Amino acid sequence: MPVSQQHSPTLRDCVYGQAVGDALGVPYEFRACGAFECTGMVGHGSHDQPAGTWSDDTSMALATCDSIRATGRVDVRDMRERFVRWYREGAYTVSGLFDIGGTTADALSSGRGRAGERDNGNGSLMRILPLAFTGATDDEVRAVSAITHAHAISCEACVRMVHVARRLIAGEGPRDVAGSLVGVPASQIRSGGFVLDTERAALWCLANTSIYAECVLAAVNLGGDTDTTAAVAGGLAGIAYGMEGIPGEWLDALLGKATIDACLF
């Protein structure tokens, strides 16, 4: 479905777009580009999870949403507590935690965001999109990133991503927000754990496709950090194309929909 002038993006569009992209990517995480082809929702693979299972990317985004729903504001302390519940108790998961980044684990264990130059994984970018549907200031976005990823590189990537999402919400098209990446060869796109790689890869997928399914499949098929790249790209594509743009069979296969719905604000 092409971008429609009548489409009014909602948080639900974004979060379901993210969850579906995440679930598509879970079976292929860590696999090299060209070593596989994702064409739809399958199970098992890298983490041996059933088809439709989403990972830490969506779990932490849901914890973010649930905090905003419960407190009515951006409350960093409350968000951190919900992240710890996810980490320690498996809250906000389909059937328990099976994937967590080292920086995130260290930050939640210590209670302090990691601020070293080597701590710029994509673990805050993957959960930041819900803030686009709030009045969060740039400093609040930085503070939310800094719960786990406190280096300026990660914090500023999160600020930029929220701005991109808000432009899509306001009605700008995918090529308006990511046009500089139109036509860039896939060979020049890295899909790894570094936050700037994930940011660029997600925007590249958005810029070089015209429907939701193409966007998230392009993200997964970049290889590497397949679930996170597809989660971020999927959240943006969900905003751009709406839930009606997500293939029905993928939505039907998605697990944990009641958990998702309970967290939305």
For 33-82, the pLDDT digits (tens) are 999 999 999 999 999 999 999 999 999 999 999 999 999 999 999 999 99
At 2, the pLDDT band (50, 70, 90 cuts) reads very low
Does residue 3 belong to any structural domain of this protein?
A: no
Domain assignment present for residue 1? The answer is no
Query: Is the pLDDT at 4 greater than 70, yes or no?
Result: no
The span from the CA of 90 to the CA of 220, in Å, is: 25
Inside any domain, residue 178: yes
**Has this prediction a pTM greater than 0.85?**
yes
User: What's the token pair of residue 196?
Assistant: 């700037």
The pLDDT of residue 3? 47
Q: Give percent of the chain with pLDDT exceeding 90.
A: 97
Separation of alpha carbons 263 and 19, rounded Å: 13
- Res 179: pLDDT: 82
CA dihedral 234, 201, 161, 179 (to 10 degrees): -100
Average pLDDT, the chain: 96
Coil, strand or helix: which one is 236?
helix
| The predicted structure's pLDDT at residue 7 | 72
Q: How many CA atoms lie within 13 A of 218 on its CB side?
A: 24
Question: Is 5 within the bounds of a domain?
Answer: no
Average pLDDT of span 216-228: 98
Structural domain span for residue 231: 11-263
Cβ neighbourhood burial of 6 (10 Å; 0-12, 13-18, 19+)? exposed
Stretch 89-105: mean pLDDT: 95
Cβ–Cβ under 8 Å, residues 75 and 83 = no
Mean pLDDT of 162-178: 97
**Is residue 111 pLDDT above 80, yes or no?**
yes
Across the chain, the runs of DSSP E, i.e. the strands, are: none
Cα(129)–Cα(237) distance, integer angstroms: 12
Alpha carbon of 31 to those of 28, 34, 42, 56: distances in Å?
A: 6, 9, 15, 18
Task: List the CATH number of the domain containing 255.
Answer: 1.10.4080.10
**Cβ burial, residue 241 (10 Å; 0-12/13-18/19+):** buried
CA distance 30 to 191: 10
Average pLDDT over residues 194-204: 98
For residue 125, tell me if it sits in a domain: yes
Q: How many domains does the chain have?
A: 1
Q: Is 4 contained in some domain?
A: no
Distance from C-alpha of 116 to C-alpha of 205, rounded to nearest angstrom = 29
Q: Is residue 49 part of a domain?
A: yes
Tokens standing for residue 150:
């406190």
In a domain, 44, yes or no: yes
The confidence band for 6, taking pLDDT boundaries of 50, 70 and 90, is: low
How many angstroms separate the CA atoms of 44 and 53, rounded?
Answer: 9
